[in-house]
Structure 1
Amino acid sequence: MLRDGTTQEVDVTALVPGDVVHLSLGAIIPADIRLLSTKNLLCDESILTGSPAGRQRSRPRGTRIVPGGPRILRLHGNRHPVRRLHGRRRSHGRPRRIRPYRPGPGRTATPDRVPARAEEVLVPAFAGGYRLTTLIFIANLLLQRPLIESLLFSLAIAVGITPQLLPAVVSTSLATGTRQLARRKVLVKRLVCIEDLGDMDILVTDKTGTLTEGRISFIGALPASPDVSDAELLTLGLLATETDYSEAKQSTAGQNPLDAALWESSGAAPFDPTRFERLDLIDFDHQRRRTSVLVREAGGPARLVTKGAPEDVLALCRPTSPNVQAMLDEQFDAGSRVVAVATRPATGMSNITPADERDLVLAGFLVFLDRPKANAGASLEQLATLGISVKIATGDNAKVAEKVCSELGVISGGTLTGADVDVLSDTELAAAAREATIFARVSPEQKARIITLLRQSGGAVGFMGDGVNDALALHKADIGISVDSATDVAKDAADIVLLEKDLGVLAEGVMEGRRIFANTIKYVLMGTSSNFGNMFSAATASVVLSFLPMLPGQILLNNLLYDSGQLAIPGDRVDKEQLLAPSHWNIAFIRRFMFLFGPISSLFDFATFALMLFVFNAVPGEFRAGWFIESIATQTLIIFAIRTRRVPFLRSRPSAGLLTASLGVVAAGSSCRCHHWRACWASIHCRCRSSCRYWE
């Protein structure tokens, strides 16, 4: 923003009326403002209009934009001052009708994966409970038992067979995980994304700041001919920037990293901004990959200067000598980032268009360096240990990306360039993308296409990016990951935001996501199998015995106590081997486990029935009391066998919370008493055998 004649970056809360805000590509409107000047402005106004598509706005002088809503999708010309309004003059200070939100570009209105998977577990349980309830009710009526008693028993069976606390356990797990992730510098925007994070097995990430330090430094100028000096080439590079020449050396606010490195270099010190007058500017965009300016020096003839990706700039230049390409390849092989600068006379011109970028003469190359991170190799190795395949999508040259990967010890499975992506069909690209490790010189649309095809191949794909050009790919990925220092549009599109741009932080987040998923599956397996086994035993016994094996109230109390103890599962420990590979919802496995483990648990119930009837000659009340205690004890304690594939307690210790909760539930279930009027329905340890109707 511009305040007191100085351009500076301030917190949005520090804006005051009268400040002039400079909007840039990808920015979110920070306040209620009035436009002073624009050029080819495109705003995403979906939060206000409900329409997901960006709208082209000429935005005449004086037009208002409200805060937090429009997002700048395209902007030609970096200087677009707007003035902040306040008080009753603010658009949000008056009643405003806001249309319902609709998903943005690339997002679909499909349900989140975790609730959808939970529904796949609950719906069959409800259906099975309904059928079982009907059969038990009919069977009890045929056995000439009281109507109300039969109905209550059948309904209790239906409730007992359903894992009612599955939504609560999932929500508790996700909420617990959110706190744990926050401690690890991972912020989650949507709870259900935690499971997606642990589910990820392919990560596509950018290179700058993730594998490299992200601190770009200018290391030298390479003139293409003896007629151009190093100082002249650097001056041309400084001219072809989007910032105001008079403010660039005082503040790098709003500059891209390459331009900021140029202005901070020692060679920029002699630059005199008063010598030059910029007549027109074409901003950098990710399709052209270059910036062009029309500039005039000391009242002389106008001159067009273009700066950008070497491949794109060279395509607009007149033929060059073979030494130029050799010089460029040498820098790429060394892992340097290179920007080409070209120029031509533009006498008589007062404005320029992309069509004017032709017949250029190459002036030379500006060379930058962004060193690999010291810990990037260890972070990549940690992700590989977790079963995550890392792929790199970058706008840099392929040789530069390959050099960085080589220095970090990454074994490349191949490289695809943007040109390769364009000529491949979806089927061919899907196969090639699975094998390739590096995607170089790719546009935002190409990144999004690659992400989409990787998802269709069956993998859970995460994308990590921080720029405006990453927003589309962030939308397309299963899990969009950005960083706190990213552009507004990137953070808006992401599902998870890292407070540090470090793959090591991401690896910790993945492990936490898998821990949460593992604990959720523990409850699903435990709840479905144990409930099914107990209700199967009760249903069978109700037909075979001359009395109800457990009263409706006992069934509900048993279920309540058991489920209450399972609320400690989200804080349970998880074995290390369960964190080393992505875990996916497998509904078929859950059903197989339920139908296998449930009948096995019923065998213990039938053994208890035989013991109570043939050894202790138990009357109905004693039978119910004995089975109630056995049922609550076996249901609760069996979790310690299901929670691990190791030897319980010896090689895999449960958390203190789960152990305490389980023992507390068993103790509570064993201590229930009748006391006549207060809890006669429980009929446990009853002291009124002669008068209580349950002993008859």
Structure 2
Amino acid sequence: MTADAVAKEAGVTLFTKSPGLSSQAAAELLAQIGPNEISTSKPKPLIFQLLAYFVQPLIAILLIAAVISGVSGDWLNAAIIIVIVLGSIGLDFYQTRRSQVAAESLRSQVAPTATAKRDGVWSELPRSALVPGDLIRLTAGMLVPADAQLLTAADLHVQQSALTGESMPVEKTASLSSSAALDNSTPENPADASNLVFMGSSVVSGRAEALVSATGARTTFGGIVTSLARRAPETEFERGMKSFSLFIVQIVLFLTLFVFAVNTLHKRDPLQSLLFAVALAVGLTPEFLPMITTITLSNGASRMAKKKVIVKNLSSIQNFGQMDTLCSDKTGTLTGGVMTLAGRLNPAGAPSERVFMLAYLNSLFETGITNPLNTAILDTTVSGIKGADPLDQAILNADHPDVQLYRKQDEMPFDFERRRASVVVTKAGESGHLMLTKGAPESVLAVCTTYEHSGEGEHSSEDEQNAGALPLDAAAQARISVVYQGFSAQGLRVIAVARRDILEADQQPAYQASDEHDLTLVGFVTFLDPPLPDAREVLDELRAKGVAVKILTGDNELVARHVCEAVGLDVGRVVLGSELAAMTDTALLQVAEANTVFARVAPAQKNRIILALKARKHVVGYMGDGINDAPSLHTADVGVSVAGATDIARDAADIILLEPGLRVLLSGILEGRRAYGNVMKYLLMGTSSNFGNMFSMAGASVFLPFLPMLPTQILVNNFLYDLAQITIPSDNVDDAFIQKPHHWDIGLIRRFMFWIGPISSVYDFLTFYVLLRIFHAREAEFHTGWFIESLATQTLVIFVIRTFGNPLKSRPSRPLALAATLVVLVGALLPFTPLSGLLGFVPLPPLYFVFLIGATLTYLGLVELVKRRLFGQVMG
């Protein structure tokens, strides 16, 4: 609802000629629309938030398995499953709480009080008491307390980079007449609104009166908070886990019902048949998946912490590994966010030390408003004298010219109507005054009548001192315009510098803006927020590793193009926010896919681009550092920010870089791929081998006169097998695997299950034949022989599945090799221990172990052949 509509409902008409609201009208409106606070919907009670996790398919299966394991007497396995489930739920619960923390942090960033006119009197009010229709006063240094439309403005300059991504403060002007009604239509991008101010921005200079048009959650700032409070869109990690869980549910239900039905038809004991069917389900369920995932990701987080990368959300490491598209804001990520003096040039575009000297003097003695370009000039020996002006600071950063002989006489401060600033100085030993003017090229040229000329091309300082002044006629203006516009097209910010000698007879005790006339153009100084030193190199590495980089910035298209080309991005077409505003979501799918750079985009438009890329099945990371980046950090599969970012961005991000630059980001991507590789080993090993063994059990129960393995034996087998897999997080990952992103592929898991599983079953049935026909095994011998064979094959197959290449050339980690070997030895020795009677095992003849070794080796060889075919489809 617009402010005008809300006000009308409360009986208030918003006209700019209004002297403000009465206390009574404001109180009525406040009671109707609520306080000017960034509040979100009340979260559900914690108990309901926790219960929601227990209805997830995989969690539900694990809990059912734990309950039945406990009923069947296997309390150890039940306890392990429950601990793992609770740990997994705790991690997910933490992620949800993160969103609420981010929203609370946002609310703390706005102004606590405001100056408003009530009952015809200006007074300080709590910010929360403001309502649409209030007349507020803004002065330099204030935070804007609500979205408002300007009624009057004098030299008003607002820093809204946190909302728009613009690196420079922007001028605001009043565009309403004294009798016009409030027009509270807000453009999609706050950067396009010259007569509106927004909650959360700050006043750099000037003063204004404004009419509040939106408060609380209806503000642009409030919209960002609301988006952070909502649950983030599903990430690739979450989608993969959900798909895998549903797949396992289907297989488990089918096998359980099938086995129970077969045993019932054979008129076996119903309770024993039910326990056997449930034991099969537990055997097929990857109950250690949450633990394996958590340990793997925690190891990766520890390694990243040593590289000054803080991981707030463990699952984001795996999303890192699957990420194939990185969207990034420009400032602070590709660039350092600090203005640097790029060039000092005469009117012809040739290098000039003279123009720098005069610009330096102007910046040194100017006391105007905060300006990033002045900071770039000033930050050298006098760093800290000015401090506030980034452009002046950049000039002073560049060199240390000798200025001790100069003294300031007067100045004409910068204002946004003239768009220039002048100082008047004297030099020791000289009687005249020197006026030095610096500002926007169009504004400075407007008061120039001549320009300095010292021939074409480069020249010496002596040539510059002897430079002559030529008339600034139309032809000269055209040539000079081409020069500075060419620099602007390169993404540089251009400031013109001019001078005028004031003879002793024309000197004045004080100077005014009207004295800026008949100046001589000396040249230009240009500025750049340069790319970080390693940006190009790392972007090349990201590209080589299969990660496409897209730039989403609120800055203008010229600056965006220049920076992106400087770091080696293939820019092509620059898509503007104004184009996105008129574009349907369907059209955006193609545009987001095909283009690299998006400029002048609003926070909501960044979100649309990320959602479009996710809809195209990309795994998207976003890197940003401002308030305007928070929704995108929240929406992306993995959000990355930097230590110097706003609190909001850090809270919304999953990863925090303690040092600027993309190299640590690349390290995170590689760690994520290693984590994903090890998790996939567990899934492929567990689903394929377990499915084979469970399928064998189901098949054997059809023709055997007894159960192929006792429920307790199945659970012991499964427990030992899982112990071997706990060391998978420590395993090495092939270099070839981490060279490109890999997404969750349920099809690959399904193919492994239905190819490798039957191979396992073939060897199981071969074992059945050998036990029954050759060794004439009775029930206990059969249980023991198959227990050892199934444990050996499904455990040792990890050495084949763990690598896409030749297992003889890819070395496993020492913990994995030891654990797998020891588990098989323990399983083979159990029948010869005092526990054999308790478990229903009996000793087997030595000849059986000869068969076991041969069967296991040929099984691993056959799996290797099939694996190469299946993995070849993935790596190809």
- TM-score norm. by structure 1 comes to 0.71
CA contact (8 A) 1:221 1:234 kept: no
Cα deviation, residue 567, structure 1: 1.0
Counterpart of 2:797 in structure 1 is 638
Counterpart of 2:301 in structure 1 is 178
- Find out whether 1:624 has 2:747 as its counterpart: no
Cα deviation, residue 631, structure 1: 0.6
2-structure distance, mates of 1:598, 1:573: 25
2-structure distance, mates of 1:568, 1:666: 15
2-structure distance, mates of 1:526, 1:488: 43
Counterpart of 1:16 in structure 2 is none
1-structure distance, mates of 2:600, 2:496: 15
- Find out whether 1:76 has 2:205 as its counterpart: no
Counterpart of 1:352 in structure 2 is none
Aligned-residue Cα RMSD (Å) equals 4.8
Please state whether the residue corresponding to 1:462 is helix, strand or coil. Answer: strand
Counterpart of 1:665 in structure 2 is 823
Counterpart of 1:541 in structure 2 is 700
2-structure distance, mates of 1:114, 1:534: 28
2-structure distance, mates of 1:111, 1:439: 24
Alignment of structure 1 residues 202-281 onto 2, 5 Å = 202-212=325-335, 215-218=338-341, 230=359, 234=363, 239-241=368-370, 251=384, 255=388, 257-258=390-391, 260-261=393-394, 264=397
Please state whether the residue corresponding to 1:241 is helix, strand or coil. Answer: coil
Compared CA separation, residues 664 and 584, structure 1 to 2 (3 A): same
Cα deviation, residue 384, structure 1: 1.0
- Find out whether 1:331 has 2:522 as its counterpart: no
Query: Aligned AA for 1:569?
Result: I
Counterpart of 1:681 in structure 2 is 839
1-structure distance, mates of 2:814, 2:646: 43
Counterpart of 1:600 in structure 2 is 759
Counterpart of 1:24 in structure 2 is none
2-structure distance, mates of 1:167, 1:158: 17
Alignment of structure 1 residues 289-368 onto 2, 5 Å = 322-323=478-479, 325-332=481-488, 336-338=492-494, 367-368=526-527
Select which of 606, 621, 625 maps to 1:466: 625
Compared CA separation, residues 137 and 330, structure 1 to 2 (3 A): closer
Cα deviation, residue 52, structure 1: 10
Counterpart of 2:451 in structure 1 is none
Counterpart of 1:22 in structure 2 is none
Alignment of structure 1 residues 24-35 onto 2, 5 Å = none
Compared CA separation, residues 453 and 542, structure 1 to 2 (3 A): closer
Cα deviation, residue 559, structure 1: 0.3
Please state whether the residue corresponding to 2:550 is helix, strand or coil. Answer: strand
Counterpart of 1:126 in structure 2 is 249
- Find out whether 1:150 has 2:307 as its counterpart: no
Query: Aligned AA for 2:761?
Result: S
- TM-score norm. by structure 2 comes to 0.57
2-structure distance, mates of 1:269, 1:463: 46
Alignment of structure 1 residues 155-170 onto 2, 5 Å = 155-170=278-293
Compared CA separation, residues 267 and 491, structure 1 to 2 (3 A): farther
2-structure distance, mates of 1:397, 1:600: 61
Cα deviation, residue 560, structure 1: 0.4
Please state whether the residue corresponding to 2:575 is helix, strand or coil. Answer: strand
Cα deviation, residue 627, structure 1: 0.8
Counterpart of 1:551 in structure 2 is 710
Aligned residues: 584
Deviations 1:328-348 (A, max 9, x none): 323235553336899xxxxxx
Counterpart of 1:141 in structure 2 is 264
Cα deviation, residue 409, structure 1: 4.1
Cα deviation, residue 181, structure 1: 1.7
Cα deviation, residue 108, structure 1: 2.8
CA contact (8 A) 2:639 2:653 kept: yes
Please state whether the residue corresponding to 2:549 is helix, strand or coil. Answer: strand
Cα deviation, residue 45, structure 1: 5.9
Cα deviation, residue 388, structure 1: 0.8
1-structure distance, mates of 2:658, 2:102: 32
Compared CA separation, residues 204 and 291, structure 1 to 2 (3 A): farther
Deviations 1:203-222 (A, max 9, x none): 22244454446553235678
1-structure distance, mates of 2:822, 2:412: 80
1-structure distance, mates of 2:729, 2:386: 45
Please state whether the residue corresponding to 2:838 is helix, strand or coil. Answer: coil
Cα deviation, residue 520, structure 1: 0.8
Please state whether the residue corresponding to 2:341 is helix, strand or coil. Answer: strand
CA contact (8 A) 2:497 2:524 kept: yes
Counterpart of 1:108 in structure 2 is 231
Compared CA separation, residues 144 and 563, structure 1 to 2 (3 A): same
Alignment of structure 1 residues 565-604 onto 2, 5 Å = 565-604=724-763
Compared CA separation, residues 416 and 110, structure 1 to 2 (3 A): closer
Counterpart of 2:594 in structure 1 is 435
Query: Aligned AA for 2:279?
Result: A
CA contact (8 A) 1:239 1:293 kept: no
- Find out whether 1:383 has 2:542 as its counterpart: yes
Please state whether the residue corresponding to 1:485 is helix, strand or coil. Answer: coil
Cα deviation, residue 193, structure 1: 0.9
CA contact (8 A) 2:323 2:618 kept: yes
CA contact (8 A) 2:363 2:392 kept: no
Counterpart of 1:610 in structure 2 is 769
1-structure distance, mates of 2:495, 2:620: 32
Q: Which 10-residue stretch deviates more, 215-224 or 523-532?
A: 215-224
Compared CA separation, residues 50 and 583, structure 1 to 2 (3 A): closer
Question: Which one has a bigger Cα radius of gyration?
Answer: 2
Compared CA separation, residues 76 and 52, structure 1 to 2 (3 A): closer
Query: Aligned AA for 1:682?
Result: G
Deviations 1:227-270 (A, max 9, x none): xx747864797613179x9x996649995754642565668989
Compared CA separation, residues 75 and 45, structure 1 to 2 (3 A): farther
1-structure distance, mates of 2:835, 2:540: 66
Query: Aligned AA for 2:394?
Result: A
Deviations 1:59-101 (A, max 9, x none): 5769699xxxx9996133259xxxxxxxxxxxxxxxxxxxxxx
2-structure distance, mates of 1:383, 1:49: 29
Counterpart of 2:666 in structure 1 is 507
Query: Aligned AA for 2:202?
Result: H
Query: Aligned AA for 1:504?
Result: R
Alignment of structure 1 residues 351-430 onto 2, 5 Å = 367-422=526-581, 424-430=583-589
CA contact (8 A) 2:101 2:651 kept: no
CA contact (8 A) 2:555 2:600 kept: yes
Cα deviation, residue 151, structure 1: 2.7
CA contact (8 A) 2:103 2:229 kept: no
2-structure distance, mates of 1:48, 1:491: 11
Please state whether the residue corresponding to 1:134 is helix, strand or coil. Answer: helix
Please state whether the residue corresponding to 1:497 is helix, strand or coil. Answer: strand
Please state whether the residue corresponding to 2:840 is helix, strand or coil. Answer: coil
2-structure distance, mates of 1:462, 1:399: 25
Please state whether the residue corresponding to 2:526 is helix, strand or coil. Answer: strand
2-structure distance, mates of 1:281, 1:42: 33
Q: Percent identity?
A: 40
Query: Aligned AA for 2:488?
Result: F
Cα deviation, residue 150, structure 1: 2.2
2-structure distance, mates of 1:581, 1:534: 33
Please state whether the residue corresponding to 2:598 is helix, strand or coil. Answer: strand
Compared CA separation, residues 411 and 640, structure 1 to 2 (3 A): same
CA contact (8 A) 1:53 1:105 kept: no
Counterpart of 2:155 in structure 1 is none
- Find out whether 1:521 has 2:644 as its counterpart: no
CA contact (8 A) 1:223 1:230 kept: no
